[in-house]
């Protein structure tokens, strides 16, 4: 049911110097499938991440945050699919640490130098013995295989690369992501890992990962549910030979950020395109607001509304549901008589009601497209925000009613 989702192609994915990838089959949920990924990093790297805001954040999230905060040199990331190790209390933390310890022994580093990640069913104990038993049997893998190894309900692997030059030096960015449901910002059951051979100091990388996330992974929603496990990690290996970016005012910062945002948006949109049961890909753009925050509130109110999303599924230009969502977005001083609502290039509402020139067949034509842009112009400021989402279909209900069976 994915919408214009182009599966990642192996030949389009460039290796990143300083990063080795391995996969293994641990039989966590299903026997014989790749469900374990190791991202090994050469020394001299920097790593930064953003994590779920969910209070029930999973054990691996707690451990990864602690290891990052310890300030040690990170040497590996280890990701399992099939089990989220979330809602597992003290035993869950011990299990996540046991995975770090086993991999650290294999690699000859300290457990604190390993970051663990998990995705899958929550509230089930992590089958830690199967994971630690499978780690020695890991084999070298491509980025495409890495993307495959972290899939859950995804219908296709999600990966991409960018090439750029920083002061004449060739730089590579390659990333992978997973996620198809429970998608909402801050963040979703999504994992994203982007590595570059550019050189960035840790404090600058900390700022960069937040700025990139806000414009990509924190601007999507499938069902409004925020997961316990979301993590987006940015890795800088420094192997390209490009100058060290040691400040957000460094001339290369904006160039690198633009390329990272471009790739992160592609990966974030791929998650929405693969949204559980999705038949439409919807861009919600809110312009002319007083602040980015109010634009994002309105965009998310539209993007989260089950009534709006079922209308998109039905290709029904039920524009009133769009107006209702704008109205309850929580912008308390919004003057609804001043805003304009567009479906692609069709002006459907203005002056507090339907555009007199609007014809149902124009709305119908846009609604039948697989890709639709909803645009709201608030006419009260210069701020904008864009959010990506998908429609709500029978298939969404089927997938989520059957997920564990």
**Rounded least distance, CB 395 to its own copies, Å:** 9
189 is in an annotated binding site: yes
CB of 127 to its own copies, least distance (A): 15
Q: Does 389 bind its own copies (CB under 8 A)?
A: no
229 is in an annotated binding site: no
Q: Are 356 and 341 in contact (CB under 8 A)?
A: no
> Does residue 318 touch its own copies according to CB under 8 A?
yes
Q: Does position 89 bind its own copies by CB under 8 A?
A: yes
4 is in an annotated binding site: no
Work out which of 115, 134, 319, 374 binds its own copies, going by CB under 8 A. 319
Interaction of residue 354 with its own copies, rule CB under 8 A: yes
Which region among 15-23, 224-232, 247-255, 378-386 touches its own copies (by CB under 8 A)?
A: 224-232
Position among 69, 71, 249, 332 found at the interface with its own copies (CB under 8 A)? 332
Question: Does the footprint of its own copies cover residue 338 (CB under 8 A)?
Answer: no
Which of 11, 69, 90, 345: binder of its own copies (CB under 8 A)?
Answer: 90
Could you list the beta-strand ranges (E) of 197-336: 231-236, 281-289
Catalytic annotation present for 46: no
CA–CA dist 388, 373 (Å, integer): 9
Inter-residue contact 342 to 374 (CB < 8 Å):
yes
Q: Which of 52, 81, 172, 189 is catalytic?
A: 189
For its own copies, give the closer residue by CB, 72 or 123: 123
Cβ 79 to its own copies shortest distance, Å: 19
Closest by CA position to 46, among listed 16, 17, 71: 71
Using CB under 8 A as the binding rule, the residues of this chain from 175 to 194 that contact its own copies are 181-182, 184, 186
203 binds its own copies (CB under 8 A): no
Fill in the per-residue mask, 49 to 68: x = in contact with its own copies (CB under 8 A), - = not in contact: ----xxxxx-----------
Residues in contact with its own copies, counted by CB under 8 A, come to a total of 69
**94 contact partners, CB below 8 Å, separation of at least 6:** none
Contact 219, 293 (CB under 8 A): no
Give DSSP secondary structure letters for 154-216.
-SS-EEEEEEEEETTEEEEEEEEEE-SSS--SS--S-EEEEEESS-B-HHHHHHHHHHHHHTT
Query: What span, in angstroms and rounded, lies between the C-alpha atoms of 229 and 211?
Result: 20
Closer residue to its own copies in complex, CB, 201/310 = 310
Angstrom distance (rounded) from CA 16 to CA 263:
15
Residue 262's Cβ-side half-sphere holds a number of Cα atoms within 13 Å equal to 13
86-to-96, 110, 130, 228 alpha-carbon distances in Å: 10, 24, 18, 7
Q: Is 6 annotated as a binding-site member?
A: no
Contact 319, 405 (CB under 8 A): no
Known binding residue 69? Answer is no
Residue 403 pairs in a beta bridge with: none
Residue number with CB closer to its own copies (124 or 266): 124
257 a known binding residue?
no
Contacts of residue 203, defined as CB under 8 A and 6 or more positions apart, other chains included, come to none
Q: How far is CA 7 from CA 2, 59, 154, 160, 188, in A?
A: 10, 31, 11, 10, 21
Q: Which residue has the tokens 């920083």?
A: 166
258 Cβ neighbours under 8 A, 6+ residues apart:
none
The contact mask relative to its own copies for 114-153 (x = CB under 8 A, - = no) is: -------xxxx-----------------------------
Per CB under 8 A, 337 contacts its own copies: yes
C-alpha–C-alpha distance, residues 375 and 347, integer Å = 9
* Of the residues 349, 366, 367, 378, which one makes contact with its own copies according to CB under 8 A: 349
Q: Which of residues 235-294 bind its own copies (CB under 8 A)?
A: none
Which residues sit at the interface with its own copies, rule CB under 8 A?
53-57, 84, 86-92, 121-124, 181-182, 184, 186, 223-228, 304-307, 310-311, 313-314, 316, 318-321, 323-329, 331-332, 334, 336-337, 349, 351-354, 392-394, 396-398, 400-405
Catalytic residue numbers read 189
Binding-site positions for substrate: 152, 178, 189, 276, 400, 405
């Amino acid at each position: 049911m994915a919408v214009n989702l182009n599966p990642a192609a192996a030949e389009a994915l460039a290796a990143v110097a300083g990063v080795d990838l391995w996969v293994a089959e641990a039989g966590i949920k299903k026997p014989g499938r790749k469900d374990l990924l190791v991202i090994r990093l050469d020394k001299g790297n920097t790593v930064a991440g953003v994590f779920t805001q969910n209070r029930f954040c999973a054990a691996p999230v707690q451990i990864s945050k602690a290891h990052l905060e310890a300030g040690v040199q990170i040497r590996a990331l280890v990701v399992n699919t099939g089990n989220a190790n979330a809602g597992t209390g003290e035993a869950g933390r011990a299990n996540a640490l046991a995975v770090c310890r086993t991999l650290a022994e294999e690699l000859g580093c300290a457990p604190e130098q390993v970051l663990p990640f998990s995705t899958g069913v929550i509230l089930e104990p992590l089958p830690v013995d199967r994971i630690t038993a499978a780690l020695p049997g890991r084999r070298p893998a491509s980025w495409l295989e890495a993307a495959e190894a972290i899939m859950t309900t995804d219908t296709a692997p999600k990966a991409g690369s960018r090439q750029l030059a920083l002061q004449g030096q060739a730089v590579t960015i390659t990333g992978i992501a997973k996620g198809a449901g429970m998608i909402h910002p801050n963040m979703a059951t999504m994992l994203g890992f982007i590595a570059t051979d550019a050189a960035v100091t840790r404090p600058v990388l900390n700022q960069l990962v937040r700025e990139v996330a806000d414009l990509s992974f924190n601007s999507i929603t499938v069902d409004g549910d925020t997961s316990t496990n979301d993590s987006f990690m940015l890795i800088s290996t420094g192997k390209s030979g490009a100058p060290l970016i040691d400040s957000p005012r460094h001339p290369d910062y904006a160039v690198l950020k633009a390329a990272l945002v471009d790739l992160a948006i592609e990966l974030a949109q791929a998650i929405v395109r693969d949204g559980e049961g999705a038949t439409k890909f919807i861009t919600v753009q809110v312009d002319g607001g007083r602040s980015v925050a109010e634009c994002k509130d309105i965009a998310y109110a539209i993007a989260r509304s089950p009534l709006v999303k079922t209308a998109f599924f039905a290709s029904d230009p039920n524009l009133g549901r769009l107006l209702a969502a704008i109205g309850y977005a929580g912008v308390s001083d919004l003057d609804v008589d001043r805003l304009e609502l567009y479906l692609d290039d069709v002006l459907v509402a203005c002056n507090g009601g339907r555009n007199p020139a609007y014809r149902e067949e124009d709305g119908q034509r846009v609604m039948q497209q697989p890709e639709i842009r909803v645009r709201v112009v608030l006419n009260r400021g210069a701020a904008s925000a864009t959010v990506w989402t998908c429609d709500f279909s029978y298939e969404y209900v089927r997938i989520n009613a059957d997920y564990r069976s």
